[in-house]
């Protein structure tokens, strides 16, 4: 509390639950003034305000009463941080004034919290009347992530035979304010239909359609559990699919597929968490460089001559501020010659793959063991789920491999080649395949088009 150079007597009065501070003052020259002119009254009914936890992109508000009388100077009220104040909730700012000629004696002050970041925020609201009065009201609030959970397929039966299909395609309405979304997660839940689940571990995935090309892009791949579902995971298999945010907006189609070869199959549910916040970059675009990922056996033949095109020319748009490659690879088959321990290709044989940029090995993909015996989806008996495969496990998501590129490629072109470790199939036990895709993702704070792949 700051007082002018007056001769003052301070009186503290309590009434109706308010604490009032009254100042009785006279000037040093002992001039005569009326009692009404001498008495300043400013009081509030609170010392602090605590707000409910508030999602980013939303607001919460509180208010308090301010009583005053006999003002010799305007009252100035200020705040800071993610808080604003006003005499109503429509006209808000960081500072408001009450004129000393104001004839009202009570005003309601509104305080609005609009978080721009997560976590606890401590701030203050200051009430000042010239040099004669100052009060601090503490403000405490917490910003939290806003998440919209969206269900798409719900217990959709995918199987083979008895009128069932291994695939399903359906349109859904996704959020349209995608520029405010910082992350998108996808969850795939499997349940067993009446009669039980498929006995085998089979290739499966979820794709989203690119309306511009009509192609479906694989967002997540998994291998089904033997005999069972993935109910040991509360929400099922989890994927970060933020790279596809330019497609997961408005009305668009999804496709689910499981390579089941019996009529049991699975009941498949897919849902998304759209997590709001400030994205690293406002705009993004994605396009496949190679996409041999429809089925396990539609992958690239391994160890033999083929006509699959693994060499591309990629042109990066000028606006790109961040660039990365996104790849998913899983091998199939028990082709010979076996590696030591009887490991056939390409399900069991550990291999190293390379991405070449302009003819030089730049990125490495190690298809080795990932700990199948530690898989939380462990209800797969009597299936052979514990031994390590080459880069994947039954009842688990197939890993997504991210390779960051230098931003200096913006406005430039490069030659891409996906290169498999040398090995020759002797043809004694069938074929080997690598279901392989690589996407190029570009991001920018300015509108951006996908890279061009030739």
State the pairing for strand pair 60-69/48-50. Answer: unpaired
Given 132, 243, 259, 431, which residue is catalytic?
A: 259
Given 201, 229, 294, 397, which residue is catalytic?
A: 201
C-alpha angle with apex 433: 405 to 191, nearest 5 degrees? 90
Residues present in the chain in total: 454
List, in sequence order, every beta strand (DSSP E) within 36-176. 39-44, 48-50, 54-55, 60-69, 75-78, 83-86, 95-98, 106-113, 119-129, 133-144, 146-151, 156-158, 167-174
| Structural tokens at position 226 | 């033997």
Helix (H, G, I), strand (E, B) or coil at 42: strand
Cβ density class 313-334: b for 16+ within 10 Å, e for less: ebebbebbebbebbbbbbbbbb
C-alpha angle with apex 386: 222 to 418, nearest 5 degrees? 45
From edge to edge, which strands make up the β-sheet containing 396-397? 167-174, 250-258, 203-209, 216-223, 396-397
259 given a catalytic annotation: yes
| Structural tokens at position 257 | 């597929």
Given 273, 347, 397, 431, which residue is catalytic?
A: 347
**Cα–Cα distance, 87 to 61 (Å, whole number):** 12
347 given a catalytic annotation: yes
Helix (H, G, I), strand (E, B) or coil at 372: helix
State the pairing for strand pair 54-55/133-144. Answer: parallel
Beta bridge partners of 428: 430
- Quick check: bond before 141 cis, omega within 30? no
419 given a catalytic annotation: no
Phi, psi for residue 85 in degrees, rounded to 5: -130, 160
State the catalytic residues.
201, 259, 347
């Amino acid at each position: 509390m700051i007082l002018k150079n007056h001769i003052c007597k301070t009186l503290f009065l309590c009434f109706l639950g308010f604490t009032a501070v009254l100042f009785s003052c006279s000037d040093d020259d002992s001039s005569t003034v009326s009692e009404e002119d001498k008495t300043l009254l400013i009081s509030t009914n609170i010392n602090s305000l605590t707000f409910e936890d508030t999602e980013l992109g939303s607001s919460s508000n509180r208010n308090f009463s301010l009583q005053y009388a006999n003002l010799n100077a305007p009252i100035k009220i200020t705040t800071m941080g993610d808080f604003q104040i006003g005499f109503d909730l429509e006209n808000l700012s960081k500072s408001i004034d009450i004129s000393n000629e104001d004839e009202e004696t009570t005003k309601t002050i509104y305080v609005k919290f609009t978080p721009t970041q997560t976590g606890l925020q401590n701030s203050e609201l200051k009430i000042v009347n010239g040099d004669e009065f100052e009060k601090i009201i503490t403000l405490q609030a917490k910003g939290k992530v806003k998440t919209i959970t969206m269900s798409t397929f719900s217990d959709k039966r995918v199987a083979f035979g008895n009128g069932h299909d291994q695939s399903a395609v359906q349109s859904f309405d996704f959020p349209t304010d995608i520029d405010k979304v910082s992350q998108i997660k996808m969850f795939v839940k499997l349940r067993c239909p009446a009669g039980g689940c498929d006995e085998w571990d089979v290739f499966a995935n979820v794709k989203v359609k690119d309306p511009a090309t009509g192609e479906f892009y694989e967002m997540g791949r998994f291998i089904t559990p033997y005999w069972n579902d993935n109910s040991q995971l509360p929400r099922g298999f989890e994927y970060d699919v933020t790279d596809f945010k330019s497609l997961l907006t408005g009305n668009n189609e999804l496709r689910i597929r499981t390579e089941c070869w019996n009529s049991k199959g699975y009941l498949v549910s897919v849902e998304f968490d759209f997590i709001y916040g400030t994205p690293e970059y406002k705009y993004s675009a994605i396009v496949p460089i190679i996409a041999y990922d429809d089925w396990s056996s539609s992958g690239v033949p391994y160890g033999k001559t083929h006509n699959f095109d693994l060499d591309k020319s990629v042109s990066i748009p000028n606006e790109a501020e961040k660039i990365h490659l996104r790849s998913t690879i899983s091998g199939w088959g028990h082709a010979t010659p076996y590696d030591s321990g009887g490991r056939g290709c390409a399900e069991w044989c550990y291999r190293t793959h390379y991405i070449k940029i302009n003819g030089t090995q730049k990125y490495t993909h190690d298809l080795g063991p990932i700990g199948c015996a530690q898989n939380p989806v462990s209800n797969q008996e009597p299936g052979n789920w514990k031994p390590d495969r080459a880069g994947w496990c039954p009842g688990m998501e197939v890993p997504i491999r991210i390779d960051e590129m230098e931003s200096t490629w913006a406005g430039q072109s490069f030659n891409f080649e996906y290169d498999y470790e040398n090995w020759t199939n002797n043809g004694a036990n069938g074929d080997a395949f690598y279901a392989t895709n690589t996407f190029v993702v570009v991001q920018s704070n300015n509108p951006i088009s996908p890279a061009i792949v030739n």
